[in-house]
């Protein structure tokens, strides 16, 4: 058994609006001096610490958790899972 750090990123599916990202861009960043930014998207991240026999199992376990427990809402969000050695 080994310990893995797993990053789960939950973000909007394409086409779903992201008022928070837009607000940070328009009311904060573009109001300042930084005009080279053209888009900001917000996402939520969960960092799991999990003990499994290998990387692959860790990844599939976390994917399972995300689907089963509705860590993300499939109507609007998608999720991506990246495993790191702890």
Partner 1 sequence: MSLEPQELIELKSKIGRDPTSTELQIIAAEWSEHCSYKSSKKHLKMLPMKGPLVIQEKGYDSGVLDVGGGYVITAHIESHNHPSAVEPYGGAATGVGGVIRDILSTGTRPIAILNGLRFGNIEKDQQARWLFKNAVTGIADYGNCLGIPTIGGEVEFDDCYQNYALVDVAAVGFGKKENLIKNHAKKGDLVVLLGGSTGRDGMGGSQFASDSLESEDRSAVQIPDPFIEKLIIEAILEARNHKLINAMKDLGGGGLSCAVSEIVDTLEVGIEMDVDMVHTRESNMHPDEIMISESQERMLIITSKTKLKKLQEICKKFRITCSVIGHIKSDNQMHVKKGKKTFANLPTDVVVNVTLLDLPSKKPVYLKTIEKEKKLKSISDYSKIMMSFLGAPNIASKIWVYGQYDHEVGIRTVIKPGHDASVLRLDNGKFLSIKIDGNPKQCYINPREGAIGCFEEACRNVVCTGAKPIGMLDHLQFGNPKDPEIFWTFLESLKGLTDFANYFKIPCIGGKVSLYNETPLGSIKPTPLIGVLGLIDKKPLIPQKITEGDCLVIVGDTKDEMGGSEYFEYVHKFVGGKCPSVNFVESKKNMKTVLKVIQSQLLKSVHDCSKGGLAVAISELCMMNQIGCKISLENVPGEKLDIDRILFSESHSRYLLILDKKNLKKLEIILKKNKVSFKLIGKFMGDKIQFTKGIKSIIDLRVDMAQKTWINSLKDLVLHG
Partner 2 sequence: MKVGVVVFPGSNCDRDMYHVLTDVFNLDTQYYWHEKSLPKNIDAVILPGGFSYGDRLRAGVIAAHSPIIKDIQKMAEKGIPILGVCNGFQILVESGLLPGVLLKNESLNFMCEWINLIVENNKTPFTNQFKLHEKIPIPIANGEGRYYVDDNTLKQLKKKNQIVFRYSQVVNGSSNRIAGVCNPAGNVVGMMPHPERAVESEINPVDNKPSSLIFESLMVKMGVVN
Under rule CB under 8 A, how many of the chain's residues touch a second copy? 32
Which residue lies nearer to a second copy by CB, 49 or 75? 49
User: How many Å apart are CA 19 and CA 46, to the nearest integer?
Assistant: 21
Say how far apart CA 27 and CA 75 lie, in whole Å: 28
Which residue's CB is nearer to partner 1, number 22 or number 59?
22
Out of 3, 23, 42, 80, the only residue in the binding site for partner 1 (CB under 8 A) is: 23
CA distances from 38 to 17, 29, 68, 80 (A): 16, 10, 36, 23
The site for partner 1 (CB under 8 A) is made up of 12, 15-19, 23, 26-27, 31, 70, 73, 75-76
């Amino acid at each position: 058994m080994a310990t893995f750090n797993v990053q789960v990123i939950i973000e909007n599916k394409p086409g779903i609006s992201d008022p928070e990202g837009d607000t940070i861009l328009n009311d904060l960043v573009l109001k300042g001096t930084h005009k080279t930014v053209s888009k900001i998207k917000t996402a939520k991240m969960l960092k799991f610490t999990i003990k499994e026999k290998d990387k692959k199992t860790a990844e599939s376990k976390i994917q399972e958790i995300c689907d089963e427990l509705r860590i993300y809402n499939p109507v609007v969000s998608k999720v991506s899972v990246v495993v790191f050695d702890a």
